[in-house]
Every structure is written in structure tokens, then in C-alpha cells.
Structure 1
């Protein structure tokens, strides 16, 4: 048994990056952050559009989702292209359906350092409410 542990440790250290390869990816870290936010909540039926006001709390979870806190409900919009969603980007709507944000609207993510622009296309918004006890 001890020999197996030593062989596994030596193998891990000989790989490019050594043990650092076990570090979670940005997407994995983002998913963990999202799961922490919705822990103890129940997912509802997805909705195509969401009425967004200036006082709703918007949070970008790196390479994972756009999250809106509206009252006691957390709405999660997952992008079709999660690698384009970065927490250090500024999000702007290039097309908006009235006062609502809809899954068909195009969001442009702008990197403030490089001024690079990428489109972020969201799926439907899934509401998460606190579980009834």
C-alpha cells in the first residue's frame, strides 16, 4: 500500500505542473460559487423574460452565470457560451425587450482593459426561492 502511494505521488509530481493540476478551473470555481448562492433554495419553472430594475442586484459569476436577486428570489441566467462571461467585464444590452431582459436579447461583454467585445447569449432564467420549512 505504501509503495502505491509513493508511486502515485511521484507520478503526480512528474506531470507538467505537478500537483498544481488539481487546482479547480475558473468555471469550476464559478459553479461552486453559484451552488453556494442557491443552497437551500428550490428551482422553479424557467422564465423567458425577467423584469429588471435599477435596484435589482446583478452579479456576474465568472464563466458560469448572470445572477439577479429580485426580492427573495434569485434568478440564474446561464450563457450558451460561458467562456465569454467574465466577472471583470462590463455588460451592456445591445437589444432590450422593453423593460424586460429576455433570453433572446444579446448582451455584450466589454473588457475594460483591452476594450475587447464579445457576445453573451443567455438561456432562460431559472428562479430559485427559499425552500418552505
Structure 2
């Protein structure tokens, strides 16, 4: 029959105190590292060039002005959707288009199809349940979490207004 051994409380207490001290030391280190990395990130962002997706979106938005973000947009069955890899979804056409960057734009992929379970059949909203499905296999690729939609409206030039 195996014997159970109990440790005295003294070694356990000193081990806990040592562990607590080590955790306190490690817990303070990430704070300093975060402060340093934030300044490094700011420097990198200033010197970093635009990604291909950001360049494509910037070209699409030329001559347009951003409006107040909205929670929902009208969803037409024949509405146009453009996918800009790792950047945004662009809804609509004509004078006003809506840019949806999502919470994780890095997951935006042209090979995915968006499937939504809308709460309102005529509008697409920030809180609708949207999933990405692989276009070829039909397999689930992940959930898509929308942010507010940002409208961009074409600006009339002085010559066009007359």
C-alpha cells in the first residue's frame, strides 16, 4: 500500500513567497516593454509604405470625402461588393460607397464569400452575424466582425457644379 507524504508548511510558504516575487518581477517587465514597443511602432508606421491593399483602396477613394460612420447600410440584392485583400470590403457604387474594414482586416481574402444572417432583410448592419466561407470548397473560414460603415461621397469639382 502506497504511503502518502505530507510536506511541512514551512517549505511550501517559502516556495510561494519566492514564486510571488518572481511573478511580480516578470509582471513589471512587460509594462516597460509595451511602452518602448509603442514608440517603436509609431516610428515604423511613419516610415512604412502603404500595403498593396491600402494603395488600391486609396486609389478607389480618390476624389471622395469620408462622412460620419453609420451602423447600417441598405442592402440591395444587386449591390456591388469589392474585396480588397487584407484591407477592407467596399459596398456600393456611384456617388457614395461604404468602406467596411472589419475588426481584423488581415483576414479579408478574395477567395472567401461572405454569408450573413441579417436581423433586418433590407439593411446590412454592424451587429449582423457574418461568416467567411471558402469560394471553392464551401468550408467555413471564420467569423467576420464588422465595424461601422464609413461612407465616402464623390466631391463635385468647381467646373462640374456650374
Distance 1:116 1:100 in 2: 23
* Residue equivalent to 1:40: 63
- Any gaps of 5 or more consecutive residues in structure 1? 1-23
SS for the counterpart of 1:124 is coil
Q: What is the CA–CA distance in structure 1 between the aligned matches of 2:145 and 2:136, rounded to whole Å? A: 22
Higher helix share: 2
In 2, the alpha carbon distance for the partners of 1:73 and 1:125 equals 12
Give the aligned CA root-mean-square deviation in angstroms.
1.9
How many residues are matched?
108
CA distance in 2, matches of 1:129, 1:43: 7
Structure 1, 64-73 or 107-116: larger mean CA deviation: 107-116
Runs of 4+ in 1 over 4 A off after TM superposition: none
Structure 1 partner of 2:156: 132
Structure-to-structure mapping, 1:1-133, within 5 angstroms: 28-113=51-136, 115-133=139-157
How far 1:113 moved relative to its partner? 4.3
Name which one, 1 or 2, has greater alpha-carbon Rg: 2
- Distance (Å, rounded) in 1 between the aligned partners of 2:120 and 2:55: 31
Gaps of at least 5 residues in structure 2 are 1-48, 158-162
Q: Is the 8 A contact 1:30 1:64 kept in 2?
A: yes
Q: Distance in 1 between matches of 2:76 and 2:108?
A: 21
